[in-house]
Amino acid sequence: MQNETAKLEVQGLCKQFGSEGSDAKPILHDVNVKISAGEFVCIVGTSGCGKTTLIRILDGLIPPSAGCVRINGAAVSTPGPDRGFVFQQDSLLPWRTVLDNVVFGLEVLKRPREDQVRIAIDLIRLVGLAGHEKSYPHQLSGGMRQRVNLARALAIDPDVLLMDEPFAALDAQTREIMQRELQNIWERKRKTVIFITHQIDEAIYLADRVLVLGGQPGSVRADIGVPLERPRDLDIKRRPDFTALVERIWRLIQN
């Protein structure tokens, strides 16, 4: 790690639901993570290991029981425009068009309408939905809705992009296309990204670093660098070094 402060730092994070005593359910224990600017980090783990809890704490949607989250060195405890959250699914406002969904965060920040529209139109083009500005979410497929979801999070130009299994509800083929496009978008935007997934190949394909979360309560079991060159083609998933990495992480999760 460099000497400069990390973009995002998690120190001694613990979370338990319920009060102290017998009914307390520990979810996360002593999670420590350090992520530098522009890094793409994927967090993998079986369901129930606390991945979603962790990313919700990072966004400030729920408070940690102990420990802290720092963005650019400053502790955060509530949601803020320095973080953009891409939800799993069905989080678009059904009464708003694609354009109006994308401007949502900017509207909340009370940015001038011309700026909102200009930024949104650029992002809608970036995520490949040009021409669908006036469509409503119910007119879009699942993949398209997640593109809007991503554009909405990017619109507020956050320091850190938090993605909570954004492609989990998509079919296999759409998911692969979305992975490729997310990589392309990231190449252009160079945001710091934390991406939660339970699919190992998705994690390796996208990430600079894969964190394996496991145990009960969950903690970071392994921190694995992905030494694959970018940009990555989807074919890379069939390469021996890729599959070996999948194998290695798979074993870590199994233990």
Partner 1 sequence: MAMVATTDRVITASKAPTARQLAFRRAFISIVLGIVAWEFIGRFVLTSNILFAPFSDVVLALWRSVATGELWIHLWVSAVEFSIGFGGAIIVGVAVGVLMGRFKVVFDYLDPWVSILYSSPLVALMPFYLLLFGVGLLSKVAIVYTVSIFPILMNTCSGIRSTDRNLLEVARSFSCSEMQTFTKIQIPSALPFIITGIRLGLGRALTGVVVGELFASQAGVGYLIATAGQSFDAATVLMGVLIFTLAGLALMTVLSWAGGYFAPWRASMDSDR
For partner 1, the binding residues (CB under 8 A) are 59, 61, 78-81, 85, 87, 90-91, 93-95, 104-105, 107-108, 125-129, 132, 135-141, 143-144, 147, 156, 173-174, 177, 181, 184-185
Choose among 104, 86, 238: nearest CA to 167: 86
Q: Indicate the DSSP class of residue 218.
A: B
Q: Where are the alpha helices (DSSP H) in the chain?
A: 51-59, 98-102, 104-108, 113-126, 142-155, 172-189, 200-206, 240-254
Q: Which is nearer to partner 1, 104 or 205 (CB)?
A: 104
Q: Indicate the DSSP class of residue 207.
A: -
CB of 139 to partner 1, least distance (A): 6
Q: Which is nearer to partner 1, 194 or 200 (CB)?
A: 194
Q: Which is nearer to partner 1, 91 or 199 (CB)?
A: 91
Cβ neighbors of 11 (< 8 A, separation 6 or more) are: 32, 67, 68, 70
Q: Which is nearer to partner 1, 43 or 144 (CB)?
A: 144
Residue 42, SS3 per DSSP: strand
Residue 7, SS3 per DSSP: coil
Backbone angles phi, psi at 90, to 5 degrees: 50, 40
CB of 214 to partner 1, least distance (A): 26
Q: Indicate the DSSP class of residue 232.
A: P
CB of 207 to partner 1, least distance (A): 20
CB of 114 to partner 1, least distance (A): 20
Q: Which is nearer to partner 1, 139 or 243 (CB)?
A: 139
CB of 12 to partner 1, least distance (A): 24
